[in-house]
Structure 1
Amino acid sequence: MPPIELSVSDLAIAASLLLVNGLLSWRLALNLERALAVSAVRMVVQLVLVGLVLKQLFALGSPMLTLGVALVMVGFAGQEILARQERRLAGWWAYGLGTGAMAFAAAAVMLLALTTAVRPDPWWDPRYAIPLLGMVLGNTMSGVGLALNTLTSLASRERAAIEARLALGATRWQALGTVHRQALRTGMMPIVNAMAATGLVSLPGMMTGQILGGVDPQEAVKYQILIMFLIAGSTGLGVLAASVGGVYRLTDARHRLRLDHLKVPKN
């Protein structure tokens, strides 16, 4: 059975649900009407533009254009990580650490997937590389953002205890061990929960899209398992790299706590 094509009117029917949300927000004085409208318009515009760009990218099949799109995606994802930090690192570290950790993890996992499991021809085929990268980046971004936010927030909150351990001769890793482990756990928790719920509680978007597109459910399941493993691997690498880098930045070679490397939050 060929995939069912959706018309503008079909999308309008689905969009009417937002009116219900808007009315509920107005009736309950939640003040979310404007945010819902802006978010919906932004989503539609972004997806339409992405669809046009991907159509041209798939037609051209250029490795340089594929790399360019991938770098743009990484750049925007890094900005999202930065926006989620309550206590940011000062200077270029605020953007560079999270973006670098995420880019390293996503690149390593994508190279592994495209050259071993998926094996498109050519290996950088944008029809495979860009959608897979989008799913991996989106989840890695969340994990890295949570890990960095937890690390900087707890380091500030537990300053007295950390400095006491350092004064007693503990290394930076010993003094910040509890904070570091909590950052790792927080960053990994979303993907752990997602893997536990996938299948029985939720059917992920990629699997659902493939099934609606006519792909055999068993093949769709295989792809979804692959994606979840890739996301878990990338999230783990990204969270580890970001948290390790964060510990180094919040201390120095003499094992002193350097909270002056954090930007003072605005009231």
Structure 2
Amino acid sequence: MNDYIRLEYLDLGLSALLLLAVAGLSLLLQLRIERSLAIAGLRCVLQLFLVGLVLTKLFALASPWWTGLAALAMILFAGREIMARQERGFQRLWAYGIGTSAMLMAATLVTLFALTTQVQPDPWYDPRYALPLLGMILGNTMTGIALGLQRLTEGARQQRAGIEAQLCLGATRRAAMLPVTRQALTTALMPIINSLAATGLVSLPGMMTGQILAGVEPMEAVKYQLMIMFLIAGGTTLGAVTAVFVGVYRLTDSRDRLRLDRLAAE
């Protein structure tokens, strides 16, 4: 069964009335979010239509070079989002470098693993499969890395006295930073753990819902969604662990000293 219900622009306009209702409520309650809501809504429309045009062209080309370039652009933009989410974190260049490199490694490895062993499209770099898979893995990995780095830098500041005391007593930088490292990784991985626990019972994920609406049998959609969730968990864990451990070594030096001076100025 491949039939699906097509949406007209009028249908989109009707659903957009809900945004107008939210803006009206903001004016009524003086929440002052109507401007931000309007800008965000407009950006959403423009970005998604632009993505639709780009994907249509990429699907027609089916070139490994163009697919790789699009994937790289997605990763670079996601790295910027990680940097922007850091409050009093690493200096901008380091924040961007740590987040982007960890995400590039994790998301690329997990996506290639899925394309070559499970999905197996022909060709393997088919953008119709590669880019959506990368996008889903990338979005969750980005969140995990951002949360992990933020918690790491916050913890190092808050527990400075304890960390430096351990270092003075002869502890290695890895041992002294271990409690903060564990807290950072727990924070980074909690969203995906919660998502795994709630999927199906509390919510129907976007990919599964989209496939069902497009006419795919529910059990087939379930199998795809399970694969995606497991890939996301693996990518998020790999990216967060890499970013946090690189962050730990950036926050310390070879002489086992805590280097909070390497963080952005308050």
Q: What is residue 107 of structure 1 aligned with on the other side?
A: 108
> 1:42-88 CA deviation, whole Å, 9 max, x = no partner?
00000000000000100010100000000000000000000000122
The correspondence of residues 34-113 of structure 1 with structure 2, limited to 5 A, is 34-90=35-91, 92-113=93-114
SS in 1 for 2:252: coil
Once residues 130 and 173 of structure 1 are traced to their aligned partners in structure 2, the CA distance between those partners, rounded to angstroms, is: 37
Letter in 2 for 1:255: D
Once residues 41 and 130 of structure 1 are traced to their aligned partners in structure 2, the CA distance between those partners, rounded to angstroms, is: 24
Q: What is residue 131 of structure 1 aligned with on the other side?
A: 132
Once residues 246 and 30 of structure 1 are traced to their aligned partners in structure 2, the CA distance between those partners, rounded to angstroms, is: 38
Letter in 2 for 1:38: I
CA contact (8 A) 2:82 2:142 kept: yes
SS in 1 for 2:257: coil
Letter in 2 for 1:13: L
Q: TM-score, normalised by structure 1?
A: 0.98
Q: What is residue 160 of structure 1 aligned with on the other side?
A: 161
Matched, 1:264 2:265: yes
Letter in 2 for 1:53: V
The correspondence of residues 187-198 of structure 1 with structure 2, limited to 5 A, is 187-198=188-199
Once the 2 structures are TM-superposed, how far is the Cα of residue 89 of structure 1 from its aligned partner? Answer: 1.4
Q: What is residue 18 of structure 1 aligned with on the other side?
A: 19
The correspondence of residues 225-240 of structure 1 with structure 2, limited to 5 A, is 225-240=226-241
Once the 2 structures are TM-superposed, how far is the Cα of residue 91 of structure 1 from its aligned partner? Answer: 5.4
Once residues 18 and 244 of structure 1 are traced to their aligned partners in structure 2, the CA distance between those partners, rounded to angstroms, is: 42
CA contact (8 A) 2:83 2:92 kept: no
CA contact (8 A) 2:86 2:150 kept: yes
> 1:178-202 CA deviation, whole Å, 9 max, x = no partner?
1000000000001000010000100
Contiguous gaps of at least 5 residues in structure 1: none
Once the 2 structures are TM-superposed, how far is the Cα of residue 214 of structure 1 from its aligned partner? Answer: 0.4
Q: What is residue 217 of structure 2 aligned with on the other side?
A: 216
Matched, 1:172 2:173: yes
Once residues 174 and 72 of structure 1 are traced to their aligned partners in structure 2, the CA distance between those partners, rounded to angstroms, is: 37
Once residues 86 and 65 of structure 1 are traced to their aligned partners in structure 2, the CA distance between those partners, rounded to angstroms, is: 35
Contiguous gaps of at least 5 residues in structure 2: none
Letter in 1 for 2:50: L
Once the 2 structures are TM-superposed, how far is the Cα of residue 223 of structure 1 from its aligned partner? Answer: 0.4
Once residues 164 and 30 of structure 1 are traced to their aligned partners in structure 2, the CA distance between those partners, rounded to angstroms, is: 47
SS in 1 for 2:54: helix
Letter in 2 for 1:195: L
Once residues 24 and 155 of structure 1 are traced to their aligned partners in structure 2, the CA distance between those partners, rounded to angstroms, is: 41
Once residues 160 and 24 of structure 2 are traced to their aligned partners in structure 1, the CA distance between those partners, rounded to angstroms, is: 46
SS in 2 for 1:92: helix
Once the 2 structures are TM-superposed, how far is the Cα of residue 90 of structure 1 from its aligned partner? Answer: 2.3
Once residues 207 and 97 of structure 2 are traced to their aligned partners in structure 1, the CA distance between those partners, rounded to angstroms, is: 30
> 1:15-46 CA deviation, whole Å, 9 max, x = no partner?
00011111111111211000110000000000
Letter in 2 for 1:94: A
Matched, 1:142 2:143: yes
Once residues 223 and 26 of structure 1 are traced to their aligned partners in structure 2, the CA distance between those partners, rounded to angstroms, is: 42
Letter in 1 for 2:186: R
Once the 2 structures are TM-superposed, how far is the Cα of residue 255 of structure 1 from its aligned partner? Answer: 0.7
Once residues 80 and 31 of structure 2 are traced to their aligned partners in structure 1, the CA distance between those partners, rounded to angstroms, is: 28
- Aligned alpha-carbon RMSD (Å): 0.8
Once residues 27 and 155 of structure 1 are traced to their aligned partners in structure 2, the CA distance between those partners, rounded to angstroms, is: 43
Q: Identical aligned pairs, as a percentage?
A: 61
Matched, 1:186 2:175: no
TM superposition outliers: structure 1 runs of 4+ over 2 Å: none
